[in-house]
Amino acid sequence: MSDRLSVLKTYKLYVGGKFPRSESGRVYEVTDSKGKWLANAPQSSRKDARDAVVAARKAFGGWAGATAYNRGQVLYRVAEMLEGRRGQFVHEVADAEGVSKSRAAEQVGATIDRWVWYAGWTDKIAQVVGGGNPVAGPYFNLSSPEPTGVVAVLAPQESSFLGLVSVLAPVIATGNTAIVIASERAPLPALSLGEVLATSDVPGGVVNVLSGRTAEIAAPLASHQDVNAIDLAGADEALAKELEIAAADNLKRVLRPQPVDDWSAVPGTDRLTAFLETKTVWHPTGSLGASGSSY
């Protein structure tokens, strides 16, 4: 019988492609559904949230400027690496959500499939929501979608992995960069996802993962002038209302939480289009010349 001590894992934040400890030095206990201690997770501070915004903004130009096909390849690579670490995520989801290993395995499989599903949309969404518009005049009028920018994402509280990927993947698939606030009760799958992203082809800063008290981290992100949009999937009714008011200060896009979100259902394109802007280009035809204008 072995008497060796197991090596406990130290979970860290994922910001700008690196793994910092929380600036505050604080941690909080994460327990399973029966109250058994699992790990100490970093408790992010307002400074950590501001650092994540800086990292996301720095990464935005390169990620948004990449071809849609290239973004799809990068996201598919993440799915490959998730498949390779399936056992780890099954264990973490089972502990986090209090489900059997077989049920956790089903959820992890669905999560990987969900990531592949969104990876496949990167070079298709422009054709669905963009295209030529009929106008009464000698012009071509074309609309094309562009990413909104830096998006703060409050991961669902009750679905630690499938829900997380369901709100994160569409944000980055369309060229945005993300700051994810992990489920407060079950942050470990999100923190482990950061490790996968760090060893994949996703550029540092495209996804930043924070853990801690959701309300404490979300407040500075909602009011931050360099955050362009916020997804309130993981906020309760009272917090969602508070964050909407804060977000209105600089006209952020706000995706409100739905009364019932079935994360296992096949997703539509709503989350893909939620954080896209439409650019319209006018170009004269015929004898009006070759120059055009856009707005």
Tens-digit pLDDT profile for residues 249-274:
888 999 998 776 688 888 889 999 99
pTM comes to 0.89
Tens-digit pLDDT profile for residues 107-119:
999 999 999 999 9
The answer to the question of residue 146 being in a domain is yes
Q: Estimate to the nearest angstrom the gap between the alpha carbon of 224 and the chain centroid.
A: 17
Tens-digit pLDDT profile for residues 213-228:
999 999 999 999 999 9
Please, which residues bridge with residue 293 across strands? 282
Q: Which two tokens stand for residue 251?
A: 């006209």
Q: Which two tokens stand for residue 201?
A: 């082809």
Q: Is 157 helix (H, G, I), strand (E, B) or coil?
A: coil
Give the neighbor-by-neighbor strand order of the sheet with 293-294: 131-132, 139-147, 276-284, 293-294
Q: How many domains does the chain have?
A: 1
- Model confidence at 294: pLDDT above 50: no
Distance between CA atoms of residues 182 and 192, nearest Å: 11
- From residue 114, give the alpha-carbon distance in Å to each of 8, 198, 215, 265: 30, 20, 27, 10
The answer to the question of residue 2 being in a domain is no
The answer to the question of residue 7 being in a domain is no
Distance between CA atoms of residues 153 and 207, nearest Å: 10
The per-residue pLDDT for 2 is 66
The answer to the question of residue 6 being in a domain is no
The answer to the question of residue 15 being in a domain is no
The CATH code of the domain that includes 156 is: 3.40.605.10
The answer to the question of residue 14 being in a domain is no
The answer to the question of residue 268 being in a domain is yes
The answer to the question of residue 121 being in a domain is yes
Please, which residues bridge with residue 131 across strands? 143
Distance between CA atoms of residues 249 and 30, nearest Å: 34
Are the beta carbons of 22 and 43 closer than 8 angstroms? yes
The residue range of the domain holding 224 is 27-294
